[in-house]
Amino acid sequence: MEILFENLPNPFAYFFPLFVVLILAELYISYREDKELYEAKDTVASTWVGIGAAILNSLTKVYQIGFFFLIYKLFEPLRVEFLGYESLGWAWWVWVLCLVGDDFNFYWHHRFCHTVRLFWAAHVVHHSSDKFNLGTAFRNGWTIFLYKPIYWIWLPALGFNPVMLALCMSFNSIYQFFLHSTLVPDIKGFNKVFNTPWVHQVHHACNVEYLDRNHGGIFIIWDRLFGTYQNREHHIAPKFGVLHPPHSHNPIKLNFHEFSDIWKDVKRAKTWEHKFKYVFYPPGWSPDGSTKTARQMQQELERQQAAVPATAAPNRREEAMA
C-alpha cells in the first residue's frame, strides 16, 4: 500500500467542525453556569495565535515530511543489510507501534520544552493564558515547528513510512485538543494509561507542586515511567498560566517575549558559562539564585513541608482548600 505525498489527507479538516461545536458548547456552559471559562481578549489572542500556528504548520509540513523521507531513504540500505527489510509496511500493528513511538517522542520533546529555556521560549505561549479551555488547545508556538522533527528521526530511520508518521503526529495533536477542559471529571482508571483533561490540568497549572509534570500526549504512562507524573489533587486547585506572564494579548509578544528575556539575560551575564546556562538551563535558572527553577522551588517546598510538625498537616490541607 502506498499513499502519495500529494494526496496526503489532512485529519484536521475532518475534525475542525467538531472542534468549533465543542468550543461553542463550552462557551454556552460557561455563560449559563457563570464559570468564567473564557475571557474575550484572551480568546481573541488564542485565536490569532492559533491561526498563525496553523499557517506556519502548513508551510513547514512539506519540510518536515521531506526531512523524514530523506532519513527514510538514507537508512534504507542499512535496514536491508542489518535488519532484513526495506520498510515496515502498512500493517495494523505497524500503525500501533508508530502511534506509540510518536507519543514517546512527543513526551521527550514536550519535557525538554519545559526544562530547556530556549525551547521553553518557543512553547511558553501555549501556557501563557490564565484560562484553561478548549480554545487554549490552538494556542501553539510559531517557532516550535522548526526543531520539533528532530525528535522523530529514529522512526523513519527504522522504516516507518513518513506519511504514516505524519498522520500519527496529527492524530496525537487531535487527541490533545480534547484534553483542554475543566468540565470533564476525573475518569478513574482511564488515566492510569491515557492522558485525560483532569490530569492535563496539572500540566497547565503554575502551582509549585504542579510545575513540569504530565508531559505525555495520548499516553500518561511515560510520565509514570520517567518520574514526572502528578495527579490532580482535589485539595490543590490548579492556578492556570505561568509564573512570569507576559501581561499582553498581542500574539507577537506572546510568541517572542521569552526570547527577548533570554537575550537580555545573556547580555547581562558576566561569563560565557552564565550566558550558556541562561539559554540552555531550565527556565528560572540564575547564577545568584535570585530566580529559581521549578525543581529548586519544589525542593524548597518539600523542605518547608518536612519542617512542619505532623500534627499541623491537617491544618495545611484545610488552608489549601480555603
Residue 322 is predicted with a pLDDT of: 37
What 284-292 contacts at long range (C-beta under 8 Å, 24+ apart), as own/partner pairs, is 284/243, 285/117
1 confidence band (pLDDT: 50, 70, 90): very low
319 confidence band (pLDDT: 50, 70, 90): very low
7 confidence band (pLDDT: 50, 70, 90): low
Of the ranges 31-35, 131-135, 308-312, the best mean pLDDT one: 131-135
Of 5-9, 60-64, 67-71, 257-261, the poorest mean pLDDT is in 5-9
159, pLDDT greater than 70? yes
Residue 48 is predicted with a pLDDT of: 97
Of 149-153, 198-202, 314-318, the poorest mean pLDDT is in 314-318
**What is the reported pTM?**
0.92
161-194: pLDDT as tens digits: 999 999 999 999 999 999 999 999 998 889 999 9
Chain centroid to Cα 104, Å, comes to 13
What 261-265 contacts at long range (C-beta under 8 Å, 24+ apart), as own/partner pairs, is 261/121, 262/117, 262/118, 262/121
The owner of cell 528575556 is 261
- How many CB atoms sit inside 10 A of residue 158's CB? 18
Query: For the chain, which residues make up each domain, given as ranges?
Result: 8-185
CA distance 123 to 118: 9
CA distance 318 to 11: 47
Residue 3 is predicted with a pLDDT of: 45
Would you say 164 and 90 are in contact if contact means Cβ atoms under 8 Å apart? yes
Grid cell digits, residue 322? 480555603
